[in-house]
Structure formats: C-alpha cells, structure tokens
Amino acid sequence: MVPKNAPPLALVKTSFMPNICRRLLGLAFVGALMLNVAPASAQTTQAYALEAGDLASRLSQFAQQAGVALVMDSSRLQGLRAPRLQGQYSVQDGFAALLAGQPFQVQSRDQGYVLIALPDSDTLADGAGVQSLASIEVRRNALGDITEGSGTYAAGTIATATRLRLTPRQTPQAISVTTRKQMDDFNLTSIDDVVRHTPGLSIITYDSERTAYEARGFGVQNFQYDGIPTLRDSPYSAGHSLTDTAIYDRVEVLKGASGLLTGSGTPGATINMIRKKPTREFQGYASAGLGTWSNYRGEADFSGPLNESGSLRGRLVGAYQDKKSHLDHYQRQTLVLYGIVEADLTPDTRLTLGADLQDNDPKGSTWGGIPIYDAQGNFNEMDRSFNNGTRWSRWNQYTRSAFATLEHEFDNGWMAKVQLNRLINGYDSELASVAAGNPDPLTGKGTSLWSGRYVGKTVSNTADFYATGPFDLFGREHELVVGAGVSRRRWTNTSYGENSNADVSNYYEWDGRWPRMNWQHLGDDREVTRENGLYVSTRLNLRDDLKLLLGTRYANYNKLEMRETGIWVPYFGAVYDLNDNFSVYASYTNIFQPQSLQDEGGRTLDPLRGDNYEVGLKGEFMGGRLTSSLAYFQLRQDNFGKETGGRTPSGGIAYEATQGVRTHGVELEVAGQLTPQWQMHAGYAYKLSRQDGDKVSTLSPEHQFNIYTTYDFEGDLNGLTLGGGARWQSKTWGDVSRPGSPGKVQHTVAGYWLVDAMARYRFNKNLSATFTVNNLFDKRYYSMFSWYSTYTWGEPRNMMLAVKYQF
C-alpha cells in the first residue's frame, strides 16, 4: 500500500472540460485562458458515459472526467475488463462500479485516490496466470520521477536545471525528456537514436564511429550521468555518442546554457542520462531481437529486494549487440553491463553503490566521409554501401564508471546528498581510409589514404555535495539548494603514424583491402583539467501563482595555461501561473568556456561567455501526463577570438576578443498522453545563427519538425499497439573545396523527410513482440561535414523484430 505521504508519480488529473478541446488547445497553444471548473468532490455526482473496455483505461478516463488524481500501476491490470458505466455517479461510487467483482478498491488520499488490493486478496487473474498486486509503489528520488512503468511520454519532476526537483512546467527553460516508454516503443538503443527523436537537436556525422550534436547553433559537449557533469571531446571520441540506453531510465535534454551546475562548456544544450534504479518489488525482463543486416541484440534486466525487509535492493542489467551495416565489410559488437545496490542504512539514510561498463568493438571503421566532388567538380555520388575504410580499420571505444551516493533526509524536510563518480572514457584506434583528394571520374585516380593510430583515455573523478530543503520567509515557504562540486579530468594520448606511400590506384574499385601499416610512434599528449565551484539556487514563493528562481556559481578552472578563478555564473528565472494549466516564464542563464588564445601583448583572452535569454509558455494537463511548451530564445556568445593580423610576443597568431555567434529561435514541444491509449512526442524548432552579419552553424538545419506517436487498441484488438513518426529538416549548407573553383564554394544539402513505424502485440501480461522500421520509405539522404569537404550517407530502410518476456 502507498503511505499517506507518498508523492504520486502516475497521476491522472484534469479540470472538467471537453477532452478534445483540451488536447487541441494544448497542441496548438491557441488560447492561453481556458475554462476551468473545480473538480468534483467525493460526494458530488455527475453524468458519465463510458463503454465497457480495458479496466486500466476506463479507470484513467473516469478519473480524468471526474477531475481527480489517481495513482495506480496500469501494467498490473493487464487483461481485466471494466463494465459499461452510464448515469449519475459520485467519485467513490463510480470507481466502485468500475471495479465491481475485482479484487481491488480505490481509497482516498490527501492528494487524490490510490488503487489498492483488497485485504484478503493477493492475486488477480488475467486469463493467462496470476499476478501479485500486494502494493503499489510511487517512485521518485533526488533526481526526479522515475519514468519506468509510468506508461507515458511525459516527464515527471526533474532536477537537471537547478538541483531543485521541479516539473517541466515549473522549470524556466525548455527541456525535452525521452522516457523509458518511448525508448522501448521505438527501439531507441543508443543516444544517437534518442537525439534523432529530440526536437531542436541535430546530428552531424563524421564517420562510422563519430557523430556530433548541435543545439541552438552550438555543439553539444556537456553530458551528465545522474546529474554529474562531464565534457565530450569529439575529435578523440570515446564512447559518449555510442552510449547504449539499456541502463537508463530516461534522457533529459536541457536547452540553452547550464553553467549553474555544469561549470564550463558550450551554451547549446546539456544531455543528462539518468540510470535505472533498483525496485522494492522483484521485476525483470529478457529480450532478443533480430534486424536487418544481421543485427542481433539481447537484453536482460533483473531488479528487486535482496533481503526480506527490502531495505537492501539491487539491479543487474546486461545487453549485447552484434550488428553489421549497410556499409560493406563493417561490423560492430557492443557489450553493456550495469549493477547497482541501494541500502537503507536507517529509515532516513540511503547508500547507493554502482558500476557500469560498455565496450564498442567495430571492424571496418570509416574515418572521414566521401569526397563531395570528383576531380572535375561534379558531385561524387557513391553507393550507400561504400566504405572508405580498410577491412582492418577499427576505432574501439570503451567506458568504465563507478559511483557512490549517500543521502540523508532530515525531519525538517531537508535532504543532504554526496555523490562520488569515477568515469573512464577510452579508445584504441587503428585507422586507414581513402578520404583524401578528389577521384578522377574516368580513371579513379587522385585519392590517397588517411591513416593514424591513437590510443588514449580520459579519467574523470568528480565529487558533488549539496543540501536542499524548505525555509520560511515573510510568512511563505521557499526552497533552497546549497552545494559544491570538484572535478579532475586527465586525458592521455599516444599517436602513431605511417610514412609509406598511400596513393589509391582506383577509388571506384576500392574494396577495403590494404596491408596493415607499419606504425611509428609520433608523440604523447597529456592534459589535466581541474574545476571546482560553489553553487546556490533558490525558488522563492512570492505568491501562489508567482515563483522567482535565483542562482549563482562561483567557479575556478585550471587547464595548462588556461587558469581562471572567481568566475561568477548567474541564473535568473521567473514562472507565473496564468491558470491551472498554463504558465509563462522568463529566464537568463550563462556558461563559460576558457580559451588559450592570446592577444598581441601575450595575455590570454577571457573565457567565452554564452548567455541564454528565454521567454515562453508552458502547459500541463491531466496531472502532468501531458505537457507542452513554447519558447523564444536569444543566445549570445562573447569574447570570441578573432585574428588581429599581428603576432604574440612568442611569435604566435594574435587574437582579439569580439562578439561571437548570435542565435535566436523558437521551440515548440508537446509530450505525453492525449488519451489513456494515445501517446505523442512532437516538436518544431527554428534557429538562426549569425556572426558579423553572416549566417553560421549552417550544418545544422534552421527548421526541424519531429512527431512520434503510438496508440494502444482495445476491444477485439486489445494487446495491439501501432505507432509511427516522422522527422523533417530544412536544407543545410557549408563552404567546401571544389576542384576547378578558386577558394571555397557553397554546397547545399536539400531538406528531407524520414518516416518510421512500429507495431507491438502483447500476447499476455508477460510476453510481447515489437517490430520497428526506420526510414520506412527508404529515403536516400546524406549529411555533410564541410571542414573536410566530405559527406556521409544516411541509413537505408532497416527493421528489427524483438521478443520480450517480462516478469
């Protein structure tokens, strides 16, 4: 049973008004003011007309129409049916009528209602076995609401922006969350997959092992694991963009600058990956999948109590994938393991220990892309299966992570938490690819190999401590976070090269066969980066409908000659509730990034400053199971290094600090349940970036649109889920080298649509099968990397069939 003070996770709450109006207004943001009638009390009666159907769906519909919150685990009602409900009912009588003959009842709680098992019943029959429902667990922690089992694409509370646990509506920044359900529905097994589904984020492909993300005109380099920040180094990629999602509950993307908690970085966005947590009840699943190009994948997940009282809980997750590709002679094997243990040392103190690893072992890795132009200046159109890498080329990447947290809840509502994290991102690459030059269209001559061997890793040690809780001021209760963080990153690298002739006789007959290189040691690199900072954030409850969020970080940074102390990173935000469903907000956030450039006097330029100004409108419906947001933002970068034409005292190129990129844009997003059976995550993003009056960041599109949706059928089709989605992006372009043309020329990649589809059939409460199709219409498209004047084909149509057994 749920304790009286347990915070609800799966809520179905809405004001009493026509559902179709609510959904249309929420989707289109038409009409900021909506008709809201107070929810019915337990004794008030009103008319209902619900047809017989799935019990969980009918309970959700009844709660929605009654305007009350209902906490339940719908997955445990599989196979149960509700009778037709017609006539006048009070809330209690309506629930009782729907549950007639079932071993459950609905009880009133302070925040609504909760579904519980009858005292003399431990099981329920579903036609295919029995299932325990002795208790219902509402799950949240200091990182926010757990999405696993929530059954929705909408996020609950999150803490990525300020360490304060707030709903998306209460957070004065745009934020996108991909829940566990959405990842499962569309087979999103990598962070690349999640990014493709996230409105406002775009992907630039370097080669088979490296992708780069962009948001609001800037590269996304800030990653977090359970809120602990780390930076990704794209040139020496080491596992970040290949991260497997099997171990994660959700992926949060905070748009704009995030210096309050991350310290240094870029202002486009921060990606926060929240790991799965142990459960108090035993649960698990095993799955196996087979896909196009001999793509094999298996997963297993076991979670539950490790002692009789449940004060010790554990979870073990494993995944293995062996996949080939549309690329010739390419294959990648991925191994993922994750283990975590939670221990309640006292009723108020919890210790968590965990570790995870991932190995990515490819064969036939590409390095760079296909030259955009041939030797005559024509588009060099190659087959989508063309692989420019040798058959022995590889870029192995691995991650190792160990973490520990200790948190204590005090009687006055305060909580203190310390988290220690050690993360290793490593690589061992041996690369050679035919990527240099422009091939002659008649003879195939004119190209040569890029080659190199790199072995290295980044070891990051991070400690973070904070305390959070309420305080009273001027007769109102407010919230406060006080914290400190320290990190040390050490990057080591060893480089090797090859001096032999690497000219390719015929580019168009390349099949990857090439003798291994005679590698010669070129040198070693070592960098140590130290950061530390103190931060504070508060949410001031000025009025019932007005909240002011303030914060700041005092940061220090040390990396080689880049030493900065006493950097102040401010945070300002305000949220005003227009009514029960809509809020308007405004915010200013900031982030810094030290740079090593020097002026003519030999002084290092001040850090790059990224300022994010944002205003918007956010909506929340059905107790948070449907959320929407509309944001307008301006992002400014200052202290951008520009060459002066002079020299530094040491003879290097001199720079001066100028205005950097200026970006403005609009982001619109809707996520969650439109009905108890209908899920959707959709968004539109527009951005325009300029520097010195010229458009920049043009490798990412100015316009993007995403929509993904699923529908769970009832009646004769009960157990069937159908879904689909589409992604569209406008044209992109960049300046590249073209034979026969002086200087650079502009190459444009046309915009395109991609359509995906999925279907799942649940045979019973344990067994289901899911079929997904990516690029359903086999669209031929490519992305460009203008720095090297190359392009990379996108994946052709591919499919995956996965069978899953849950228990």
Global pTM reads 0.85
Given a contact cutoff of 8 angstroms between Cβ atoms, the answer to whether 355 and 401 are in contact is yes
Q: How far is CA 756 from CA 211, 243, 250, 568, in A?
A: 21, 22, 21, 45
CA dist., res. 513 & res. 527, Å (int): 36
Six token digits for residue 311: 């004060």
Residue 282 has pLDDT above 90, yes or no: yes
The chain-wide mean pLDDT, for the chain, equals 88
The span from the CA of 390 to the CA of 144, in Å, is 46
Position 96 pLDDT exceeds 90? no
Pairing of strands 752-762, 767-774: antiparallel
User: Dihedrals φ, ψ of 59, to 5°?
Assistant: -65, -40
| 223-234 exposure pattern, b = at least 16 Cβ within 10 A, e = fewer | bbbbbbbbbbbb
Average pLDDT in the 453-459 region? Answer: 94
Which amino acid is located at 8 in the chain? P
Over residues 673-685, the mean pLDDT reads 94
How many residues make up the chain in this entry?
807
Percent of the chain with pLDDT over 70: 90
Residues 235 and 209: their CA atoms lie apart, in Å, by 11
Mean pLDDT calculated for residue range 474-491:
95
Cβ count near 208 (within 10 Å): 23
Among 328, 281, 326, 286, which residue's Cα sits nearest to residue 306? 281
Confidence grade of residue 107 (pLDDT, cut at 50, 70, 90): confident
Residue 18: predicted pLDDT: 39
Taking the C-alpha atoms of residue 717 and residue 739, their distance in angstroms, rounded to an integer, is 60
Q: Find out whether 358 and 398 touch, Cβ atoms under 8 Å.
A: yes
Q: What is the dihedral of CA 381, 366, 436, 732, to 10 degrees?
A: 50
Beta carbons within 10 angstroms of residue 323's beta carbon: 20
Report pLDDT for 232.
Answer: 80
For the cut 60, the answer to whether the pLDDT of residue 35 exceeds it is no
Neighbours of 109 (CB within 10 A): 17
Of residues 235 and 159, more confidently modeled: 159
Residue 136 to residue 156: CA distance in whole angstroms: 17
Instruction: Dump pLDDT digits (tens) for 533-583.
Output: 999 999 999 999 999 999 999 999 999 878 899 999 999 999 999 999 999
pLDDT at 235 (0 to 100): 64
Helix (H, G, I), strand (E, B) or coil at 563: strand
pLDDT bin (cut points 50, 70, 90) of residue 19 is very low
- Three-state secondary structure of 750-807: CCEEEEEEEEEEECCCCEEEEEEEECCCCCCCEEEEHHHCEEEECCCCEEEEEEEEEC
The per-residue pLDDT for 52 is 77
The residue type at 629: S
Give mean pLDDT, residues 489-494: 94
Give mean pLDDT, residues 507-517.
95
Burial of residue 742, with CB atoms counted within 10 A of its CB: 0-12 exposed, 13-18 middle, 19 or more buried: exposed
The answer for 722, left when phi > 0, alpha when psi is -120 to 50, beta otherwise, is beta
List domains and CATH numbers for the chain.
1-138 (3.55.50.30), 275-806 (2.40.170.20)
The amino acid present at 499, given as its one-letter code, is N
Beta bridge pairs of residue 522: none
- Please state the φ and ψ torsions of residue 647, each to the nearest 5 degrees: -130, 155
Transcribe 718-736 into DSSP letters.
TTEEEEEEEEEE--EEEEE
Q: What is the largest CA-CA distance in the chain?
A: 88
DSSP for 22-54 reads: HHHHHHHT--S-----PPP-SS--EEEEE-SEE
Find, among 567, 638, 573, 652, the residue nearest to 608 by Cα: 638
φ/ψ of residue 384, rounded to 5: -65, -20
Nearest to 240 by CA among 250, 249, 229: 229
Q: State the pLDDT at residue 138.
A: 40
Give the pLDDT confidence score for residue 729 in this predicted structure. 97
- pLDDT band, very low/low/confident/very high, at 273 (cuts 50, 70, 90): very high
Average pLDDT over residues 38-60: 71
Closest by CA position to 697, among listed 257, 119, 216, 136: 216
CA distance 60 to 458: 48
Could you give the CA distance from residue 498 to residue 512 in angstroms, rounded to a whole number?
Answer: 17
- The CA–CA distances, whole Å, from 392 to 14, 78, 378, 431 equal 59, 50, 31, 8
**Does the structure show a pLDDT above 50 at 128?**
no
- By C-alpha distance, which of 4, 9, 35 is closest to 21? 35
Chain-centroid distance of CA 512 in Å reads 35
Backbone angles phi, psi at 794, to 5 degrees: -80, 165
Phi, psi (degrees; rounded to nearest 5) at 671 = -150, 135
Amino acid at 645: G
Residue 218 pLDDT > 50: yes
What confidence category does residue 93 fall into, taking pLDDT thresholds of 50, 70 and 90?
Answer: confident
Q: What is the pLDDT of residue 72?
A: 76
Give the mean model confidence (pLDDT) for residues 435-452. 94
Site of tokens 């929340």:
620
Provide the percentage of residues in the chain whose pLDDT is more than 90: 74
Where helices occur in 178-223 by DSSP H, the ranges are 180-185, 191-197
**Residue 339 or 67, more confident:** 339
